[in-house]
Structures are given as C-alpha cells and as structure tokens.
Structure 1
Amino acid sequence: MQKIKTALLSYGMSGKIFHAPFLELHPGFELLGSWERSKKLIQEDYPELKSFPSFESILEDKSIDLVVVNTPIDTHFEYAKKVLLAGKHAIVEKAFTSNVAEAQELAVLAKEKGLKLSVFQNRRWDSELKTVKKILDEKLLGEIVEAEFHFDRYNPVLSPKVHKETINSGSGILKDLGPHIIDQALYLFGVPNAVFADIRITRAHSLVDDYLDILLFYSDARVRLKAGFFVREPNPSYVVHGKKGSFLKSRGDVQEDELKVGKKPNLTTWGTEQEGQEGLLHTEIDGKIIREKVPTLQGNYYDYFDGVYQSIVNGKSEPVTAQDGVNVMRIIDAAIQSNEQRKAINL
C-alpha cells in the first residue's frame, strides 16, 4: 500500500486527539512528526516521530506529501497557501479561513497546482449526524419543512487559550463551533438562498462573540443553527420536521470523549453510542403512524482520513472539498453582514 508521508503543524489538542490516532491507525499514512514551537510533546506519545523545529523545515522536507494545518484559524490561509506553493497536499482545520476571499484563493491555487485540499469537517462522521442523514436519505419524514441544529454548552468561563478570547480574524463562536453545524446543514440540505443571523456576546468580560442564531432560507424549508455557552439543560441537537413526520436526536457521539482519555480508535467497535441515546422517529410509513426509537449508526473519523487517502492515491474527490469550505465561509461572511445590517442576506 502506498504510504502518504504526513506532518502536523501543531501537537496540541487537535493534533493529539483528532489527527495522530487516526493517521496511526490508517495503513496508508505514515506520520513523520509535528512542528512544535516550545513544548516538545509528540515524542512522549510517539518516540519514533520527529519534532520539527520550524514551519520552513516541513516545507523544505521533500519526503512530506501531506501537511495538516491545525493551527489557530487566523493562520490557516497563510500556512495553507505556503503548503500548497511547496507542492504538498493539505488538510485544513475548520474554520477553513478567516473569510470567503481567502477560501476561494486557496481552492483556485490547489486546482492550479493539481493538489488535494480538504477541510477537516470531521463532525460529518459523528454518529448522530450519520443517523440523521440516513433518515433523510430514506425519506422517512417526507418533504422537509424545517430543521434546527444545536451545538450547545454550559461554560460561562473564558477559554484559557488566548487566541480564542482575543479579537482577531479567527476568534469567536461563529468560526469555532459555527463551522460544524453550518457544514452539516450544507451537507444535508445544500447551499441556501439567503441567510439571517443574530450574533451576540453573552459572557461577562468576553471580547468575542459567544452566541449565534443563524437562519438559512431554502425555497420550501428553513434551517436554524444555534450555539451558545449558557445552555445548562441541552436541547435535542438535531430536530427535523417533514410533512410526514419528525426526527429528534441528542448529541451522543462518544469519539471526542474517548480520544481525550487516551482510547485508541479501531475499525470495529469505535464510535458506538451508549444505549439510551437513540433518536426518536415519529412519522407515517405506508399509511401507518409509528413512534419509535431509532438505533444510532456508528461514527468514525477514520472514514474522513480514508477519504483523503483515496483522493490522493486514487484521484477521487476529497471527503470534504475546498469548495465545501468556500461554501461554509460564504455562510459565515453572510452571517456577519446580516448581523451588522439586521437583515437577511441573499446569496
């Protein structure tokens, strides 16, 4: 099997939790190491890997095929552009860039260079989102009228990560949690006709937005996306209503929590939700009204990395394309404009 030699641009939470375990599991990747600025941590977990002293040392290493840009959002454009100019494929964390113009420039550059560029929207492979997609694919709800997605937390304390709480082009909930549910909405329903958004600051002493309420206008449906830090009793994370029925599902994906405590992913039991987290389907099938729990599909971020492998080695489309990233940034830019003007923005 062809090996894709890969380097990370940081080994903090995302490198340690979301990337390294799956790159290690997949037989088609060879993780060479990570750029580490001050703390040298990667060799504690992977003694055989290299701690690169600088970004330039990664760019100049001819053996590296793929670079994971998992640094603060306001650096994504600069680093990803340099990676592509160095002739290397790239995975870029969400939010893809700081604005849509940057996203479009990267998409064009990757195409010109004949390189693969993918946005790390791993939440498409969460167990609950996969289950929602199955319900929609099987058309169990009839024509969709409305949907509401939540990414809620109860956490009034400011983040200790300075870049997340300092005013910069990548800070705030809209570009932190927002890309998860925006991408999921576009993945399931496509690009809307218009966007309306209410973006606020609710935490004491916060300098950056920490609440969002985005309404996506489709020709025959509306999709609402909400995220905030003052939700002690969570709403269902996914609510979809169609002309035949409804489906409700709480957030139950176990992958992040298991990765945080050091569990290693696998290809059999990984991403299996605990019993009692099943979604509720209340609909009409063949003239019969049913109201029942629906077993949750397994989630596995491995499938994202396998998609990247297939795109590089076999020429398939990336699992999340640069255009997907552009579309998410279009929504984010429109949401900012809508919030400022207090009106819906046509796309």
Structure 2
Amino acid sequence: MPSPIRTAVVGYGLGGRTFHAPFLAADDAFTVDAVVTSDAGRAEEARADHPGVRVVPDLATLLQDAGSLDLVVVSTPPERHADQAAAVLEAGLHVVVDKPMTVTAAEGRALVDLAERVGRTVTPFQNRRWDGDFLTLRRLVEEGALGTVRRFESRFETWRASESKAWKAAGPATGAGVLYDLGSHVIDQALQLLGPATVLHAELLHQREGEGADDDVFVALQHDGGAVSHLWMSRVAAQLGPRFRVLGSEAGFTSCGLDPQEEQLRQGRAPGDPGFGHRQGDDVGVLGLTGEEVSVPMEAGDYAAFYRGVAASVRDGAPPVVDPLDSVAVVELIETLHRDFPVRRPQAAQAMRGRERSR
C-alpha cells in the first residue's frame, strides 16, 4: 500500500472541521497530521476529533516543518487564500483551497502559474459538483432526457436574519458577500453544465439592516452554446424556491431542497455512515412535460469523490479533480458583476426617502 498523504488543515471553523477534516479522516489515502488555528476552543476541538494531531497557531509555524507534510488544505476567509496557498506551494506542498479560490482572477492565475513552476497542484474545493441533485441533473442532460437545454434556473437560498461572522459582512474586496460565498457554487455549476457564459443582467442587494456585503443576488448569464441561466443566491429568503428548474426542448426538470450532506455533517454524521449523502423519504425530482411528469430519484451526494480525485493527483500525477482555471473563470464573472452592478441597499434608500418626506 502507498504511504498515506500527510495532510494539514489551515483553519478549523465550519469549513475545516465540517467540510474537510471528516473526509480526510474517512479516506485511508490521507492522514490528518496537523491543524492550524489560533483559537483555543477550536484547538481543543481538533485534538478531540483527531487524537494525536499537531496543532500550531499559524501557517508560518506549520511550514517550518514542511517536510513532514504532503498536502495542505486552506480553509480560511477568502482574502487570505491567495497568500496562504502561494506560501504552501513555495514550500513544496500540494494545496487544496476552499472556494472562492481567490478574491481576484489575477490572484487565481498567479497561483496556477506558481503551481506549474514548482510542480505541485492547486485544487479549488468546488464540492457542490458532487451534490446528489446536480449529479442527477447532469446525468439527465448528458443522456438527452431534456433535449437541448434552453433555460437553467438555480437557487441556493437560506434564511439568516443577521450575519454571524464579521468578515462575511465586509466589502467585496475581501471576498465577502453571498455572491462570493454561495455564488461560487451556483455559477460553477452553471458553467459546468452549460459552458462559458457572459453576464446579461444582475441585481446585487444588501437587504438586512446596517452595513454589509450583498446578501440577496440574482444573476442572468448567456452561455456561448445558447442557453440562459437564471441564478439566485440569498441569505434572506423567507420561503425557498425550487433548487433547480431546467427547461429543454423536449422536457423540463424540477427539484427542491438542498443536498443533505452539509446538514448530515453538521449533525456529526461521517462519510461512509449508512445513508450518508442519501435523501430521505420521497424527495425526488420531476421530469417531463406538464401533465406527463415522471418522478426521478436523486442520486446520492458524494463529496468524498473530491478527495479521491485529490489523492489521484498527489499520488499518480492525475490532473486536478477541479481545474483551477474553472475557478478563475467563476471569479472573473463575480468581478464583472461587482464592477457593473454595484451593491444596492433598498431599505436604506427607502428610509432616506422617508426622512426627506418628513422634513
């Protein structure tokens, strides 16, 4: 058996603890050797989750012993991604970077160039490519079950009355906001399904009280192949719309609800547990014409496939399981959206008009 891939996780918040470490620990190809966090509580969580793990306070300390590692997973706020991933590559290690891979496309291209120069891989963590509903939709499209796709509607909506993390309420220059957060997934899925695209229209809103980044976004994209994507991302959706509604020349497809893997991970379930990644009950998609629909069971979600692909890259030299240039394309679109459609605050404007009328 080949030696396990010695891995460190940088950042042990929701991303590091919930989305990365469980899959590394469940895969025999990896060992979780180190965790980087300066938070005492998270350090204790890391030691409890992974007995014997080495916990260090910062990346510089970790890289002093780079020879004891093969791979580093960067799961920190987006504005740190470019510098931290570059430091990992320069230390001679492979790197996985949480989404968005970088805040700017220029930073992303620089990381790709650096990885090529040092002979290591940089792999963006676009785990939502392995959502069960997206796997189901992609299979249907590839099989021709919808005919030619004309319109792709995708919603990733949640309800959160206030932002829990200060960095997420900062400006877009830091990678904050729902467009960088959920949008990195939604746009990536659209490009994977339908190919390159340009922006037709967008609405970037900040709906909650006070200052902060965009929390309610609509984007329309025109794909080079002819299809149009309508994409919604929101933290303030009081009711949730369909997750996917796709209209083709022969049939349509609709599904509701989010892939269950995130909630299962939050509940402490582990990859490989019975039923992990599977939807419960009769949660199915609907395929066909109105009045002639048939139910389509959802495929199981499989985020573990991402790390199986990472192992193949590190061990066998396979191409990155997610091409980093795909993430550069997503960030380019996000930069265009922020440039051409600045964030508006409808509630603030309404309050200003009310004060003016009262004078």
> Which stretch shows the higher mean deviation, 253-262 or 227-236?
227-236
Match of 2:299 in 1: 297
Counterpart in the other structure of 2:237: 231
Give 1:345's aligned residue. none
Mapping for residues 6-85 of structure 1, pairs under 5 Å: 6-39=7-40, 40-41=43-44, 42-61=46-65, 62-85=67-90
Gap change, CA 1:229 and 1:43, over 3 Å in 2: same
Superposition deviation, residue 252 in structure 1 = 3.5
Report how far residue 267 of structure 1 moved.
7.2
Counterpart amino acid of residue 50 in structure 2: Y
Counterpart in 1 of 2:148?
143
Query: 2:10 is matched by which residue type in structure 1?
Result: L
| Structure 1: stretches of 5+ with no match in the other structure | 343-347
Q: Is the 8 A contact 2:269 2:276 kept in 1?
A: no
Higher helix share: 2
RMSD: 1.8
Instruction: Return the offset for 1:197.
Output: 2.1
One-letter code of the match for 1:15? Answer: G
Distance in structure 1 (CA, Å) of the matches to 2:98 and 2:280: 28
Q: 1:9 is matched by which residue type in structure 2?
A: V
Is the contact made by 2:215 and 2:236 (CA closer than 8 Å) also made in structure 1?
Answer: no
Question: 1:133: which partner in 2?
Answer: 138
For these two proteins, the number of residue pairs brought into alignment is 337
Alignment of 1:1-347 (within 5 A): 1-2=1-2, 3-39=4-40, 40-41=43-44, 42-61=46-65, 62-157=67-162, 159-167=163-171, 168-219=173-224, 220-266=226-272, 269-283=275-289, 290-340=292-342
- CA distance, structure 2, for counterparts of residue 193 and residue 235 of structure 1: 24
Q: CA deviation at 1:153?
A: 1.4
- Give per-residue Cα distances to partners, 1:89-126, cap 9 Å, x unaligned: 00000111111111111111111111111000111111
Gapped runs of 5+ residues in structure 2?
345-359
Q: Is the 8 A contact 1:195 1:331 kept in 2?
A: no
Query: Residue by residue, what CA displacement relative to the aligned partner does 1:297-346 show, whole Å, maximum 9, x if unpaired?
Result: 0012111000000111111111112111111111111211221499xxxx
3-state SS of 2:19 partner: helix
Letter in 1 for 2:280: Q
Compute the displacement of 1:264 (Å).
1.3
Most deviating of 317-326 and 162-171: 162-171
Name the aligned partner's letter for residue 228 of structure 1.
Answer: S
Q: How far, CA to CA, are the matches of 2:93 and 2:200 in structure 1?
A: 35
Distance 1:272 1:200 in 2: 34
The Cα of 1:196 is off from its aligned counterpart by: 2.9
Distance in 2 (CA, whole Å) between partners of 1:19 and 1:210 is 25
Q: Distance in 2 between matches of 1:340 and 1:155?
A: 22
The secondary structure found in structure 1 opposite 2:204 is strand
| Cα displacement (A) at 1:170 | 1.4
Counterpart Cα distance in 2 of 1:274 and 1:36: 36
Q: Helix, strand or coil: the match of 1:177?
A: helix
Give the whole-Å Cα distance in 1 for the aligned partners of 2:236 and 2:304: 32
Counterpart CA distance in 2 for 1:331 and 1:23 is 31
Q: Distance in 2 between matches of 1:141 and 1:52?
A: 51
Partner deviation per Cα, 1:126-148 (whole Å, 9 max, x = no partner): 11111111111111010111111
Query: How many Å apart are 1:29 and its aligned residue?
Result: 0.5
- Give me the whole-angstrom Cα distance separating, in 2, the residues matched to 1:213 and 1:127: 23
Question: Match of 1:248, SS?
Answer: strand
Q: Helix, strand or coil: the match of 1:226? A: strand
